Amino acid sequence: QKEEQVQEFFIDENTLEIQNPIHLKMSEPSEVSTRNKQTIYLDKDLLKFPLVLKKWSKGDYICLIGMKGSKKISKYFKDLKYSLLEKENIWLLYNANNDVIWIVSNRQDRRFAATNSTKNILKISTI
């Protein structure tokens, strides 16, 4: 059995854009505007850098906005009836301490979401 190489891409606090493995743009807007699957707004003060972009692994979970408690990523994918290929092609953004922040272009974790009282907002968008 071949051990699959875990690919991790690190995003430090001052990064404005990454091209690889996916195209993300970071900025610090003064307020939260439209959230959608391609754009998230984070409370920068709650983040631990560097952020890490990688594939999900067993046991990872997310605290979805609008939902109590947490949900395993594997269960989330199963509920959406994702194929194996779809699951393998999805990137997740993690905090430096391995908390899931965002299932990229999908759902954001509420623990790091910016609110109206957030002072330091980090906006991340997929391009």
For 16-77, the three-class secondary structure string (H helix, E strand, C coil) is: CEECCCCCEEEECCCCCCCCECCEEEEEHHHCCCCEEEECCCCCCEECECCCCCCEEHHHHH
pLDDT score at 4? 56
Residue percentage of the chain with pLDDT more than 90: 87
Name beta bridge partners: 94: 52, 100
pTM for the whole thing?
0.92
Mean pLDDT of 33-49: 92
Q: What pLDDT does 33 receive?
A: 86
2 falls in which pLDDT band (50, 70, 90)? very low
Place 5 in a pLDDT band, splitting at 50, 70 and 90.
low
Report pLDDT digits (tens) over 71-112.
Answer: 999 999 999 999 999 999 999 999 999 999 999 999 999 999
Query: 2-6, 29-33, 60-64, 123-127: lowest mean pLDDT where?
Result: 2-6
Q: What per-residue confidence (pLDDT) applies to 54?
A: 97
